[in-house]
Amino acid sequence: MKNGNLRPAEQIKFLNDTRKHNRCVAPEEQDRPDKPEEACGVFGVVAPGREVSRLAFFALFALQHRGQESAGIAVSDDGHLTAIKDMGLVSQVFKEDILKSLSGQAAIGHVRYSTTGSTRWANAQPVCLNRNGHTLALAHNGNIVNTSELREEMGPLGFKLTSTSDSELLAAMIASHPAEDIRDAVAACMPRIKGAFSVVILSRGKVVGFRDPWGVRPLCIGRFEDGNYTLASESCALDIIGAEFLQEVKPGQMAVITAGKLELTQVVEPTRRQGFCIFEYIYFARPDSVINGLNVSQARNRMGEELAHESPVEADMVIPIPDTGTPAAIGFARASGIPYGEGLIKNRYVGRTFIQPDQNLRQHGIRVKLNPLVHAIKGKRLVVVDDSIVRGNTTHKIVKMLYDAGAIEVHLRISSPPITHSCFYGIDTATSTELIASEKTVEEIRRQVGANSLEYITLEGLQRAVGMPADRFCRACFTGRYPIDVPDSLKMSKHRFEQVEKEPVA
């Protein structure tokens, strides 16, 4: 098929004019949180007779932790597709009147944090393209590593990409495939795509979900009491819409959902060495999600227990850096016998869209997010548990704040090993030179952050905590051993396609 007729779908109603949003709104580097930044969350459902846009809204609401920069929902109503997407949180993009206008029998949804392509409206998802005279919508979590190769393949077709994300490339490949049935098009494209991808597609009332053969990012299947099916990045999204967790989409598998029917096909053999992202258990996934049969909160409790066994210390109280450090702190307290308590209060309403403080307020910046409970920590020797240190730009502020509040000792315990390498599979962990542990020893980091002691969980301790063999996981940000080959050309910034965005692929 000649691809000149592939263009962004005409039926799509866009909430806002792209010109207003065609600007980078990424926060200033110094204001970025000292955490790996999440990738994306995806959702899909076919449920005739129900308000599918409302199901998508609540599922995306539960997946909000995976991406806070943009949100989108595409709905199919008797095969006619309508999509709405915009920058902002799910609750900012979708209001009651918008949800009511999105009626249909099937829907997909997406929340995004940019890992490839800058933070702008055109890169928000779902991506919508024409395919054989109808509209296809696609939502993607992950990062494709052979994009240059795929762009070259797409070049002779003269297809003009409108965004800079690898997800549009993925959508263009599938939309341009000549197979009549979307299942055949997906099955033909899957073996050519290398990298991390958990994808949902909405096409002619069908939802197709598929996952890379390494199984890097999660994707699970849920079932409603009425026999309809749904797909979501994490099981916490199923709970909120009343669906029961059925199983994971297996690595290399395609799940096709139609009304009351689920069809599973193993399209690509799973790789012998698997690559599920172990950081999903440490930080990304919500604690109430269950992945590979293991509850995420329980995994984090065990990480804390392992830390207590590996790096004990005499102290009066164990406190978490909330919220993500909390389950590991509970585990540390349980295993060490040191009482657990709250020492830092987090403002729950601070998100990525928060207005940045001015220069004068910046010195108090950390207190916008965290404030110490002076009466609880004064005069105490503290064990402070956090899930990770990325750049180290906020840890020393927290330690200083605790001393200023009267702590007499601060012992940091971290429930991930030191992050020494960047992620190329859909997580923004910063470039390797920005990673504090790639440049400094643990003792040097301890001195820089000003703690009395600093210890990280070992890889072995982490592995014991998740209770599964190491060859099931990607652990590359701790070891530099990438399960999927990463070409040198990719080891650049996530903005690598910006310069070609206005040209036809060549």
- Identity of residue 330: I
Cβ 423 to ligand SF4 shortest distance, Å: 3
Residue from 81, 476, 484, 490 binding ligand SF4 (CB under 6 A): 476
Q: H-type helices in 391-487, by residue range?
A: 395-404, 436-439, 442-449, 459-466, 476-479
Closer residue to ligand SF4, CB minimum distance, 234 or 501:
234
Answer whether 267's CB lies under 8 Å from 254's CB: yes
Residue from 144, 477, 486, 490 binding ligand SF4 (CB under 6 A): 477
> How is residue 492 written in tokens?
């650049």
Closer residue to ligand SF4, CB minimum distance, 352 or 421:
421
Cβ 386 to ligand SF4 shortest distance, Å: 16
Instruction: Work out the number of other CB atoms within 10 angstroms of the CB of residue 96.
Output: 9
Q: How far is Cα 430 from Cα 437, in angstroms, rounded to an integer?
A: 12
**What b-and-e string marks burial along 277-294, b requiring 16 or more CB atoms within 10 Å of the CB?**
bbbbbbbbbbbebbbbeb
| Contact flag: residue 474 with ligand SF4 (CB under 6 A) | yes
Count residues near ligand SF4 (CB under 6 A): 12
**Cis omega (within 30 of 0) on the bond before 323?**
yes
Residue 258: strand pairing partners: 261
Q: How far is Cα 434 from Cα 68, in angstroms, rounded to an integer?
A: 23
- List the interface residues with ligand SF4, window 411-470 (CB under 6 A): 423, 425, 427, 429
Q: Is 220 a catalytic site residue?
A: no
Q: How far is Cα 224 from Cα 220, in angstroms, rounded to an integer?
A: 14
**Residue 200: exposed, middle, or buried by beta-carbon count in 10 A (0-12, 13-18, 19+)?**
buried
Closer residue to ligand SF4, CB minimum distance, 66 or 380:
66
- Identity of residue 308: A
Least Cα distance to 290 among 225, 228, 209, 221 occurs for 221
| Contact flag: residue 296 with ligand SF4 (CB under 6 A) | no
The DSSP code sequence of 196-265 is EEEEEEEETTEEEEEE-TT--S--EEEE-TTS-EEEESSHHHHHHTTPEEEEEPPTTEEEEEETTEEEEE
> How is residue 31 written in tokens?
């204001």
Cβ 333 to ligand SF4 shortest distance, Å: 27
Closer residue to ligand SF4, CB minimum distance, 56 or 474:
474
| Contact flag: residue 391 with ligand SF4 (CB under 6 A) | no
Closer residue to ligand SF4, CB minimum distance, 205 or 218:
218
> How is residue 68 written in tokens?
């806070």
Annotate each residue in 208-237 with x if it binds ligand SF4 (CB under 6 A) or - if it does not, as one string.
Answer: --------x---------------------
Closer residue to ligand SF4, CB minimum distance, 214 or 224:
214
Catalytic residue among 40, 277, 423, 477: 40
Cβ 200 to ligand SF4 shortest distance, Å: 20
Least Cα distance to 485 among 168, 23, 145 occurs for 145
User: Of the listed pieces 164-172, 352-360, 368-376, 471-479, which binds ligand SF4 according to CB under 6 A?
Assistant: 471-479
Closer residue to ligand SF4, CB minimum distance, 115 or 297:
115
- List the interface residues with ligand SF4, window 269-288 (CB under 6 A): 277-279
User: Of the listed pieces 150-158, 177-185, 377-385, 474-482, which binds ligand SF4 according to CB under 6 A?
Assistant: 474-482
Cβ 113 to ligand SF4 shortest distance, Å: 13
Answer whether 415's CB lies under 8 Å from 100's CB: no
Closer residue to ligand SF4, CB minimum distance, 100 or 491:
491
Cβ 478 to ligand SF4 shortest distance, Å: 7
Cβ 290 to ligand SF4 shortest distance, Å: 18
Cβ 381 to ligand SF4 shortest distance, Å: 33
Residue from 140, 413, 475, 494 binding ligand SF4 (CB under 6 A): 475
Per the document, the length of the chain is 506
- Residues contributing to the site for ligand SF4 (CB under 6 A): 216, 277-279, 423, 425, 427, 429, 474-477
Positions marked catalytic: 40
